[in-house]
Amino acid sequence: MSAETVEEMKPLLREYVEKSSDIVNLQWDEHVTRKLPFDPYAKNPQIAHYFLMVASIAETELIGRSENARALMIDLYAILGNDLFKPNQSSSFEESVQKSDTFNQLPTSKTQIPHVLASVNHFVEEIAKGNLIQLAEKFSKPEEMVREVGKNIARMGGRYIDKSWMYMRWMVRRRPDLGVFSNFRSRDLQIPMTSSLRDVAFCLGLCSEPEADLENFEKAEQERQRFTDFAASRDMFPEDPAIVDYPFYVLGRWIHGEQLSIRLLRSHLAFWQRVYARIHRTPLTFDVISRKESSFEQEIRAELERLQFMFRFEPQILNLSGDGGAPQYTPDFVLPSCRKKGKVVILEPHGPWTPLERRMVTISSRSFPIWVYPSQVQPDELRFASKLRAFRKTWGEMYYLVLIVPSTFKDRVERDYPGISDEICEGSDVPKLLYDLKRSSE
């Protein structure tokens, strides 16, 4: 990749970051469904302590996706109250993690979470003497505190040091970040090379492999510095390179699973520009996913896994254009590496369809029941159809939507709602649909 090509991307990247710079981090966004039990902008030692605990577990191996870190910590606070912050809590953490509604959504390494959280409390008690703000004031630059955190907290140093840099960004930058550590300068922050940011960095040629070599610490340091230098360059953000962190995280999650390249990055950024101009707000956001998959969704998941599809279940929320508010759409199954007619495939099973009506018919003095289309459809059905229509209007250029419905509804959905999807498939035909998609994408 030529340096000229990367330089040509800078205006597009800069515009994207500037228009996304007020996005509030998922971990303390007040618009997320599960609310925090306190004001995250209070700038007190407990806030610094709480979000150090969040950062310590915010990695794929422990919690899967970031939404689970927020949900789990809210659950633990609800169970333990202020005991959450006391030292020597490993056994309480282990019991409380298992009580959490989020527990079953976590990967197998979740058994290490109690140890990690206990090490945070030990650090705050023994090293910070109960006050992380005062501890921060002892250091002249963020990297000094990063080393202290990494040295003393489990999974925050060495191969996991990027979590410490992520925490420092939260604590140092002003709104929409938390701005708790006022003695540090934003220009001295480094950009954490988390997996989502690494996808963006790889597209820009700032790291050599899409997957990090976690055992090569020196190489990881060099890549983080290269990424930070790029963000701090004169025509990017020299006074605040970490401003790119969360916008690039959002961008990285959006492109994850696709064939990474600078061309892919450019096409997504150009599309983002068009959507932003249409809806006048950030196109993508996230929420804490708490609902259980339906039995039909579980069947589709099992079939996707059997055919070894890469897929993501409800990976993000897509904002839509429309009147009367700010409608949103959360796609069920996104198949990032699967395309039809050049578009990324989304599988949307079911929907709130109004059931058929039972009527009695009399012929030659004999009466018997028949099932007919409903005389009046339920409001949820109308809202769902309207949402799909708005989705295709806003995002149809990028996504190919396959609506999956029971056979009893297919004819009526096709008749009453033309154009709400690219394709309608009966539930019984899903195995063939996925087989054909798999074959065409190989």
For every one of its 442 residues, what pLDDT tens digit does the chain have, with 9 covering 90 and above?
Answer: 566 688 889 999 999 999 999 999 999 999 888 899 999 999 999 999 999 999 999 999 999 999 999 999 999 999 999 999 999 888 999 999 999 989 988 999 999 999 999 999 999 999 999 999 999 999 999 999 999 999 999 999 999 999 999 999 999 999 999 999 999 999 999 999 999 999 999 999 999 888 877 678 888 899 999 999 999 999 999 999 999 999 999 999 999 999 999 999 999 999 999 999 999 999 999 988 666 788 889 999 999 999 999 999 999 999 998 654 558 999 999 999 999 999 999 999 987 898 887 777 777 778 777 777 778 889 999 999 999 999 999 999 999 999 999 988 999 999 999 999 999 999 899 999 999 998 887 6
CA distance 258 to 267: 12
Q: Residue written as tokens 């899903």?
A: 430
Residues 6+ apart with CB under 8 A from 241: 186, 187, 189, 190, 191, 228, 231, 232
**Bridge partners for 368 per DSSP:** 361
- Is the bond leading into 176 cis (omega within 30 degrees of zero)? yes
Name the residue among 321, 355, 339, 441 with its Cα closest to residue 399: 339
Contact 178, 171 (CB under 8 A): yes
| CATH 3.40.1350 holds for 291-441 | yes
Contact 26, 69 (CB under 8 A): no
Between the CA of residue 201 and those of 66, 216, 244, 262, what are the distances in Å?
20, 18, 11, 10
Between the CA of residue 15 and those of 263, 276, 343, 357, what are the distances in Å?
17, 11, 25, 53
Contact 166, 158 (CB under 8 A): no
Q: Residue written as tokens 């003497």?
A: 129
Name the residue among 122, 62, 60, 66 with its Cα closest to residue 90: 122
Q: Domain residue spans in the chain?
A: 3-279, 291-441
Contact 172, 187 (CB under 8 A): no
Residue 33, pLDDT score: 87
